[in-house]
């Protein structure tokens, strides 16, 4: 039996996209590893062992492993689930799969020197990897345009939806007093949340933004944008919420807005569409691919335009009797079970 080790070191960062990616993918792999075709293990912080299927054994993470990885000798394949990892298995004699989530540093206005440094680090990993998985066609195109990776070893496997069927909602600490627009994500510049208060100019809607704050300066920018437009009393930054609380917000919001300027995928978009909600997205990076024709898009972020667009979207959504169903059907294409089967097929191509 072939031994496979899947990196989940990033699960030490709760409330992040990588946490959910590792958790959902690895548990789906355990389910679809039929008849124990492979012996699956994960490289993860010992304290996170309980989040994984019992059929998955855990190789405990240690910062010492940046320099020495004696456990690698027993594995025939290592799946590196994050392109920025400090634990890439350069010394492994077996096969390596590398998942690339984004090249956002190319789209965030980073200085040229930093971009060059990041690309140089990534190039070494791409050269060593036997298979490179991009989580969207957009990311694949970035790889082919900005790196020297061999095109034949780059595959696209979309992420799944993090909301399970029958998900249980829980009332959050803050419940809006009126119909509201919802958004969720790490509070940082690239998420572009500060443009969202403009959606409230010509209506009585509220705005709820949930997520871990990594930049107090940027949170202040959001608050100041709301004050400048006179809607500060209807803009609520509620911080980190649980998955059950996020489910409540997604179930009860009038619309979901995600104006990010740099995304390799955009998991919250599919989560909102899972509930048949109208989503308003930027046209940047991967979002048009993930939202598809069932999403709505901000062509620019002029306040007057955003306000008008919001009202037009809600009118269009409620005038179409089957719109919610069409949105849910689109979201149904993004499934962790399907994702896991595709990754297992890539493992087979390398190991058989």
Q: Are 246 and 190 in the same domain?
A: yes
pTM tops 0.75:
yes
What is the 8-class DSSP label of residue 291? H
E-strand ranges in 163-282 read: 180-184, 206-210, 235-239, 255-258, 279-282
Beta strand 38-44 pairing with 279-282: unpaired
Q: How many residues does the chain have?
A: 352
Q: Which helix (H) or strand (E) holds 246?
A: helix 243-252
Instruction: Tell me the β-bridge partners of 40.
Output: 4
Distance (Å, rounded) from C-alpha 99 to C-alpha 35? Answer: 25
DSSP string, 101-154: ---GGGTTT--HHHHHHHHHHHHHHHHH-SEEEESSHHHHHHHHHHS---GGGE
How far is the CA of 81 from the CAs of 10, 23, 49, 78, in angstroms?
9, 11, 17, 9
CATH at 27 = 3.40.50.2000
My answer on whether 114 and 201 are in the same domain is no
Expressed as residue numbers, the domain containing 133 is 2-160+335-351
For 213, which DSSP code?
B
Q: Judge whether 168 lies within some domain.
A: no
Question: Do residues 37 and 145 share a domain?
Answer: yes
For residue 272, which of 289, 287, 286, 291 has the smallest C-alpha distance?
A: 291
pLDDT at 294: 97
Total count of domains within the chain: 2
Number of separate helices (H) and strands (E) present in the chain = 10, 13
Residues 109, 6 within the same domain: yes
- 3-class DSSP state for residue 52? coil
One pLDDT digit (tens) per residue for the chain, 352 residues: 899 999 999 999 988 899 999 999 999 999 999 888 999 999 999 999 999 999 999 999 999 999 999 999 999 999 999 999 999 999 999 999 999 999 999 998 889 999 999 999 999 999 999 999 999 999 999 999 999 999 999 999 999 999 988 889 999 999 999 999 999 999 999 999 999 999 999 999 999 999 999 999 999 999 999 999 999 999 999 999 999 999 999 999 999 999 999 999 999 999 999 999 999 999 999 999 999 999 999 999 999 999 999 999 999 999 998 999 999 999 999 999 999 999 999 999 999 8
What's the pLDDT at 110?
A: 85
Q: Are residues 287 and 198 in the same domain?
A: yes
Is 72 among the domain residues?
yes
> 154 with 103, same domain?
yes
CA separation for the pair 77, 192 (Å, rounded) = 38
- In whole angstroms, what is the distance from residue 42 CA to residue 75 CA? 11
341 shares a domain with 261: no
3-state secondary structure of 31: helix
The pLDDT value given to residue 15: 85
| Closest listed residue to residue 284, CA positions, set 99, 144, 108 | 108
The answer to whether the CB of 281 falls within 8 A of the CB of 298 is yes
The pLDDT of residue 35 is 84
| Among candidate residues 210, 195, 318, the one with its CA nearest the CA of residue 268 | 210
Q: Give the helix/strand (H/E) hosting 269.
A: helix 267-274
Could you give the CA distance from residue 236 to residue 55 in angstroms, rounded to a whole number? Answer: 42
The answer to whether the beta carbons of residues 236 and 200 sit under 8 Å apart is no
* Whether residues 67 and 106 fall in one domain: yes
Tell me: do 92 and 238 sit in the same domain: no
Residue 151's pLDDT is 98
- For residue 167, tell me if it sits in a domain: no
Pair (347, 313) in one structural domain = no
pLDDT the model gives residue 303: 97
Query: 79 and 139, same structural domain?
Result: yes
Residue 23 lies in a domain: yes
Do residues 154 and 279 share a domain? Answer: no
169 within a domain of the structure (yes/no): no
């Amino acid at each position: 039996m072939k031994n496979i080790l899947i990196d989940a070191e990033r699960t030490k960062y709760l409330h992040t996209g990588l946490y959910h990616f590792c958790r959902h993918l690895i548990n789906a792999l355990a389910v679809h590893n039929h008849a124990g075709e492979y012996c699956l293990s994960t490289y993860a912080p010992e304290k996170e062992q309980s989040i994984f299927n019992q059929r998955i054994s855990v190789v405990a993470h240690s910062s010492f492993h940046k320099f020495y990885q004696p456990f690698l000798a027993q594995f025939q394949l290592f799946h590196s689930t994050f392109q920025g990892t400090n634990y890439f298995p350069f010394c492994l004699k077996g096969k390596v799969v590398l998942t690339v989530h984004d090249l956002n540093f190319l789209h965030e206005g980073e200085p040229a020197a930093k971009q060059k440094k990041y690309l140089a680090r990534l190039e070494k990993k791409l050269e060593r990897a036997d298979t490179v998985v991009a989580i969207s066609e957009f990311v694949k195109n970035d790889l082919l345009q900005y790196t020297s990776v061999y095109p034949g070893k780059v595959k696209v496997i979309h992420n799944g939806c993090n909301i399970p069927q029958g998900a249980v909602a829980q009332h959050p600490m803050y419940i809006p007093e009126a119909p509201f627009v919802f958004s969720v994500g790490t509070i940082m510049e690239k998420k572009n949340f500060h443009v969202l208060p403009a959606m409230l100019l010509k209506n009585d809607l509220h705005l709820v933004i949930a997520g871990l704050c990594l930049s107090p300066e940027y949170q202040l920018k959001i608050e100041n944008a709301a004050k400048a437009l006179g809607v500060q009393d209807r803009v609520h930054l509620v911080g980190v919420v649980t998955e059950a609380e996020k489910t409540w917000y997604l179930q009860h919001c009038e619309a979901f807005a995600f104006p990010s300027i740099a995304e390799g995928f955009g998991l919250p978009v599919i989560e909102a569409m899972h509930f048949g909600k109208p989503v308003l997205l930027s046209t940047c990076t991967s979002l048009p691919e993930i939202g598809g024709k069932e999403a709505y898009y901000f062509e620019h972020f002029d306040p007057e335009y955003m306000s008008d667009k919001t009202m037009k979207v809600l009118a269009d959504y409620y005038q179409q009797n089957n719109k919610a169903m069409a949105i849910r059907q689109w979201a149904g294409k993004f499934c962790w079970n399907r994702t896991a089967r595709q990754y297992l097929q890539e493992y087979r191509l390398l190991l058989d």
